[in-house]
Amino acid sequence: MHKQVIRIPQTILDDMIAHAKEGKPEEVCGILSGQGNVVTRAYRAQNVAEKPVVTYNFSPQDQYRIFKDIDEREEEMMAIYHSHPASPAYPSVTDLRLAFYPEASYIILSLARPEQPVVRAFRLEDGNIQEITVEPVTTQPGE
Ligand SMILES: [Zn+2]
Protein backbone atom coordinates (compact mmCIF):
# COMPACT_ATOMS: atom_id res chain seq x y z
CA MET A 1 0.00 0.00 0.00
CA HIS A 2 1.24 3.44 -0.80
CA LYS A 3 1.70 6.16 1.77
CA GLN A 4 -0.66 9.08 1.24
CA VAL A 5 1.15 11.52 3.47
CA ILE A 6 4.78 12.49 3.66
CA ARG A 7 5.87 14.29 6.82
CA ILE A 8 8.77 16.68 6.38
CA PRO A 9 10.42 18.75 9.13
CA GLN A 10 9.99 22.46 8.46
CA THR A 11 13.78 22.94 8.65
CA ILE A 12 14.23 20.50 5.76
CA LEU A 13 11.48 22.18 3.73
CA ASP A 14 13.21 25.52 4.30
CA ASP A 15 16.51 24.04 3.18
CA MET A 16 14.97 22.58 0.00
CA ILE A 17 13.46 25.96 -0.86
CA ALA A 18 16.81 27.67 -0.20
CA HIS A 19 18.47 25.10 -2.49
CA ALA A 20 15.93 25.82 -5.24
CA LYS A 21 16.48 29.58 -4.92
CA GLU A 22 20.27 29.21 -5.05
CA GLY A 23 20.03 27.14 -8.22
CA LYS A 24 17.73 29.48 -10.12
CA PRO A 25 17.36 29.73 -13.15
CA GLU A 26 18.43 26.08 -13.29
CA GLU A 27 16.52 23.22 -11.71
CA VAL A 28 18.06 21.69 -8.60
CA CYS A 29 17.57 18.14 -7.35
CA GLY A 30 18.04 16.09 -4.24
CA ILE A 31 16.92 13.10 -2.23
CA LEU A 32 15.07 12.78 1.06
CA SER A 33 15.55 9.82 3.36
CA GLY A 34 13.78 8.70 6.47
CA GLN A 35 11.71 5.95 7.98
CA GLY A 36 8.02 5.17 7.72
CA ASN A 37 6.51 8.34 6.29
CA VAL A 38 8.75 10.74 8.20
CA VAL A 39 11.64 12.43 6.46
CA THR A 40 14.78 12.82 8.57
CA ARG A 41 17.44 13.97 6.13
CA ALA A 42 17.88 15.85 2.87
CA TYR A 43 20.73 15.33 0.41
CA ARG A 44 21.55 17.84 -2.28
CA ALA A 45 22.79 16.46 -5.57
CA GLN A 46 24.35 18.09 -8.59
CA ASN A 47 22.06 18.47 -11.59
CA VAL A 48 24.08 17.25 -14.58
CA ALA A 49 21.28 17.45 -17.15
CA GLU A 50 22.26 18.80 -20.55
CA LYS A 51 19.57 21.45 -20.25
CA PRO A 52 19.33 22.07 -16.50
CA VAL A 53 16.98 24.99 -17.05
CA VAL A 54 14.20 22.61 -18.10
CA THR A 55 15.03 19.26 -16.55
CA TYR A 56 17.17 17.43 -14.03
CA ASN A 57 19.47 14.46 -13.95
CA PHE A 58 21.34 13.31 -10.88
CA SER A 59 25.11 13.22 -10.97
CA PRO A 60 25.85 9.45 -10.82
CA GLN A 61 28.60 10.04 -8.24
CA ASP A 62 26.22 11.97 -6.00
CA GLN A 63 23.53 9.34 -6.41
CA TYR A 64 25.96 6.57 -5.46
CA ARG A 65 27.24 8.54 -2.45
CA ILE A 66 23.71 9.33 -1.25
CA PHE A 67 22.34 5.79 -1.67
CA LYS A 68 25.38 4.42 0.18
CA ASP A 69 24.88 6.84 3.07
CA ILE A 70 21.16 6.06 3.31
CA ASP A 71 22.01 2.34 3.38
CA GLU A 72 24.60 2.78 6.10
CA ARG A 73 22.10 4.67 8.24
CA GLU A 74 19.54 1.92 7.61
CA GLU A 75 17.06 4.44 6.34
CA GLU A 76 15.02 4.43 3.15
CA MET A 77 15.05 6.71 0.17
CA MET A 78 11.66 8.34 0.58
CA ALA A 79 11.51 11.06 -1.99
CA ILE A 80 13.21 12.66 -4.94
CA TYR A 81 12.85 16.41 -5.14
CA HIS A 82 13.54 18.92 -7.86
CA SER A 83 12.67 22.50 -8.54
CA HIS A 84 10.65 24.22 -11.24
CA PRO A 85 12.21 27.69 -11.33
CA ALA A 86 9.45 29.21 -13.46
CA SER A 87 6.66 26.65 -13.90
CA PRO A 88 3.99 25.25 -11.56
CA ALA A 89 4.65 22.49 -9.01
CA TYR A 90 3.27 19.77 -11.23
CA PRO A 91 5.08 16.90 -13.00
CA SER A 92 6.08 17.62 -16.57
CA VAL A 93 5.92 15.04 -19.34
CA THR A 94 9.68 14.58 -18.90
CA ASP A 95 9.26 14.15 -15.14
CA LEU A 96 6.81 11.33 -15.79
CA ARG A 97 9.11 9.72 -18.30
CA LEU A 98 12.05 9.87 -15.90
CA ALA A 99 10.21 8.58 -12.83
CA PHE A 100 12.15 5.37 -12.24
CA TYR A 101 11.25 4.82 -8.59
CA PRO A 102 7.56 3.96 -8.15
CA GLU A 103 8.06 3.58 -4.38
CA ALA A 104 9.42 7.10 -3.98
CA SER A 105 7.50 10.32 -3.71
CA TYR A 106 8.35 12.96 -6.25
CA ILE A 107 8.45 16.39 -4.71
CA ILE A 108 8.36 19.48 -6.88
CA LEU A 109 9.19 22.95 -5.61
CA SER A 110 7.89 25.79 -7.72
CA LEU A 111 9.40 29.25 -7.65
CA ALA A 112 6.99 30.56 -10.28
CA ARG A 113 5.92 33.07 -7.64
CA PRO A 114 9.23 33.75 -5.86
CA GLU A 115 7.60 35.22 -2.77
CA GLN A 116 5.40 32.18 -2.38
CA PRO A 117 7.26 28.93 -3.10
CA VAL A 118 4.94 25.94 -3.60
CA VAL A 119 5.88 22.40 -2.55
CA ARG A 120 3.80 19.46 -3.76
CA ALA A 121 4.39 15.70 -3.72
CA PHE A 122 3.28 13.00 -6.13
CA ARG A 123 3.45 9.32 -6.83
CA LEU A 124 4.42 8.74 -10.42
CA GLU A 125 3.80 5.24 -11.63
CA ASP A 126 3.13 3.94 -15.13
CA GLY A 127 2.45 7.45 -16.35
CA ASN A 128 -0.11 8.12 -13.64
CA ILE A 129 0.05 11.11 -11.34
CA GLN A 130 -1.31 10.82 -7.83
CA GLU A 131 -0.87 13.71 -5.43
CA ILE A 132 0.07 13.00 -1.85
CA THR A 133 -0.03 15.35 1.12
CA VAL A 134 3.07 17.15 2.34
CA GLU A 135 2.74 17.61 6.09
CA PRO A 136 5.29 20.01 7.59
CA VAL A 137 6.54 18.90 11.00
CA THR A 138 7.49 21.58 13.48
CA THR A 139 9.64 20.46 16.37
CA GLN A 140 8.49 21.77 19.72
CA PRO A 141 11.12 23.65 21.74
CA GLY A 142 12.56 21.35 24.38
CA GLU A 143 11.83 18.19 22.44
ZN1 LIG B 1 10.11 18.77 -13.36
Kindly list the domain boundaries of the chain, sorted by start residue: 5-110
User: How far, in Å, is the centroid of ligand 1 from the Cα of 140?
Assistant: 33
Number of C-beta neighbours around residue 41 at 10 A: 16
pLDDT tens-digit readout, 95-131: 999 899 989 999 999 999 989 999 999 999 888 999 9
* CATH number belonging to domain 5-110: 3.40.140.10
pLDDT average, residue stretch 31-58: 96
Q: What angle do CA 33, 115, 45 make, to 5 degrees?
A: 30
Instruction: Compute the average pLDDT of residues 42-59.
Output: 96
Q: How far is the CA of 94 from the centre of ligand 1 (A)?
A: 7
* Amino acid 1: pLDDT: 46
- Residues 6 or more apart whose CB falls under 8 angstroms from that of 55 comprise 27, 49, 92, 94, 98
pLDDT, position 51: 95
Q: Taking residues 35-42, report their average pLDDT.
A: 94
Q: How far apart are CA 66 and CA 142, in angstroms?
A: 30
- Is residue 141's pLDDT more than 70? no
Residues, Cβ < 5 Å to ion ligand 1: 92, 95
